[in-house]
Amino acid sequence: MPSIRNFAGWSETMLLSIQDLKVAFRMGRVDGVMQRQLAVKGVSFDVPENSTVALVGESGSGKSVTAMSVLNLLPTNAEREGRILFQGRDLLQTGLRELQAIRGKDIACVFQDPMSSLNPVFNVATQICEPLMKHMGMTRRQALVRAEELLHEVGIPEPKRRLSAFPHEMSGGQQQRVMIAVALACSPKLLIADEPTTALDVTIQRQVMELMAKLKQTHKMSLLFISHDLGVVGEISDHVVVMRHGQVRENAPVERIFSDPQDAYTKALLACRPSLTENPARLMVIDDHIAGRSAAAQTRAKDPEAPVLLEVTGLQKSFWLKDGLFGKREFKAVKGVNFKLRKGYTLGVVGESGSGKTTMGLTLLRLHEPTGGQVLFEGRDLLKLSGADWQQMRRRIQVVFQNPYASLNPRFTIGQTLREPMEIHGIGKDAAERDARAVALLQRVGLDEAAMAKYPHEFSGGQRQRIAIARCLTLQPEVLVLDEAVSALDVSVQAQVLNLLRDLQDEFGLSYIFISHDLAVVKFISDEVLVMQNGDVVEQAPTEVLIRSPREAYTQRLLGAVPRGYNPGAAQPA
């Protein structure tokens, strides 16, 4: 696979220079004194012309705050100090009108979630034409011609037809391409990309990375790339700035970051990434690596004769879509899935967005009613149960979703969140026993009793995912369906949650159906992998066999798209 890194060499001309940047947020007055939280603590680095500089770090490291400070896209309670020199002009001293002239024209941004950046009530043409008409002085007709060219340039099929489309009518990858087209409309000198590939599956992520690298060369612009994934960073960047707790921990060329990292935190970030080539019993986490602690003991060996808990045969799910004025057409989202899941084992389910993997998991749980097939749980067909029988069985199969903030009630304390399922299913003889059980489960997932009185917004993403797992465990389930449960977490928190899932499996004999687009994560946690494409199972094999020698071209393409970090052997111009 050709490299997507720039090897033309670094220009001596600095396009952007950030010098001793400090960013604080006013948090309100206490006893008449304004409280401030310092998020960025004296950050300095440069972005040369025609280069890619990556800002790397965990959530809360200050990397996005640093990047958004360039154009002052920060909340109104933010205070900035230092210097941000863009082509010699200090943007901290620039007035609002001048800054608005720079935004979108000389410096543009691409964000993580295109659906929150693209206006849902305007079509694609309107959103691309706006900066062209505002900054370039084009007429609507001229802007439409240029908009079509831009959509073609970013790889949108049938660009003229797609101009009239609205964001919700496009896939996630297409939305991100439209966002890139909007950003590139005025040929900016600097593109700030804030986690632009985090929410995408591996093949779309690969396409977007290659597109951005190609457009960077074509437009002769620089790229400030923000990510928590060193695998992605190693493939696209010339230089890496590693941040933690608002400070720069290491600042070096990409090859040195990967071959000879100097800071313990950088080494820890590299160490806690799941790998397609290694198979550790546990993943290292940041604090353990910095403290020099080992990754702990081996996990318990699996019983090859463990009983089959779940047997799925010919599972199907169709949706009926509107076709014309009165007609309907059938869309087959899941087309006959078969597998067996043993007690204490993990089945990984992988595939691109739209492959049917999530629909399969939700149909299994009857959150979508199936249109065919059989799901035997200890010999009983879940799809035929009703009333009290189904209610009793639902205790034994639980689900953990990708976004814990959306699945936790924001008006419930954590105590209420954990007590509610126990009250519904009659677990525990009284409130005191339920509270004791809830506290024990919180401690088991790494949180303390004080969490009982808090609300979901008071926790980080990783902590909320732990709470979601604890809520499932209140019902003493035997099977957990984990739908992209770690995909939104940074590498260190992801490692903690994956280790926790392994510990819980060893302790309680849980079985997992682990749905993910990240093959490296699936390799770490799964015993068997099921590969889905367009609703069909195209390959199914033990994990080691599938990773080592995939049979199908589709599986090979998925594996080939996984970011592997800096690879000197691939360091040739594309």
Given a cut of 90, is residue 292 above it in pLDDT?
no
- Structural domain includes residue 402: yes
**DSSP characters for 161-216?**
HHTT--GGGS-HHHHHHHHHHHHHTT--SEEEEESTTTTS-HHHHHHHHHHHHHHH
151-189: pLDDT as tens digits: 988 888 889 999 999 998 887 778 888 998 999 899 899
Structural domain contains residue 464: yes
The single residue listed with the structure tokens 């691409």 is 110
Q: Which two tokens stand for residue 481?
A: 């369906």
**Residue 381 pLDDT more than 80?**
yes
CA distance 256 to 466: 35
Q: How many domains does the chain have?
A: 1
| Domain contains 281 | no
Give the residue numbers spanning the domain of 440. Answer: 397-476
Residue 552: inside a domain, yes or no?
A: no
Residue 101 has pLDDT above 50, yes or no: yes
Q: How far is CA 512 from CA 45, 326, 361, in A?
A: 44, 42, 11
In a domain, 190, yes or no: no
Most confident of 289-298, 386-395, 550-559: 550-559
pLDDT band at 497 (very low <50, low <70, confident <90, very high): confident
112, pLDDT greater than 80: no
Q: Report, as an integer, the average pLDDT of 296-324.
A: 84
Q: Quick one: pLDDT at residue 7?
A: 41
Q: Which residues contact 128 (CB under 8 A, 6 or more apart)?
A: 143, 146, 147, 150, 151, 163, 178, 181, 182, 185
469 in any annotated domain: yes
Q: What angle do CA 38, 44, 46 make, to 5 degrees?
A: 140
- Tokens 């790494």 sit at which residue? 446
Asked whether residue 365 is assigned to any structural domain, the reply reads no
Residue 449 inside a domain? The answer is yes
**The residue to which tokens 């220079």 are assigned:** 17
Question: What pLDDT, in 10s, does the model give residues 393-418?
Answer: 888 999 998 777 778 999 999 999 99
pLDDT surpasses 70 at 490: yes
520: confidence class by pLDDT, cuts 50, 70, 90: confident
- The chain-wide mean pLDDT, for the chain, equals 88
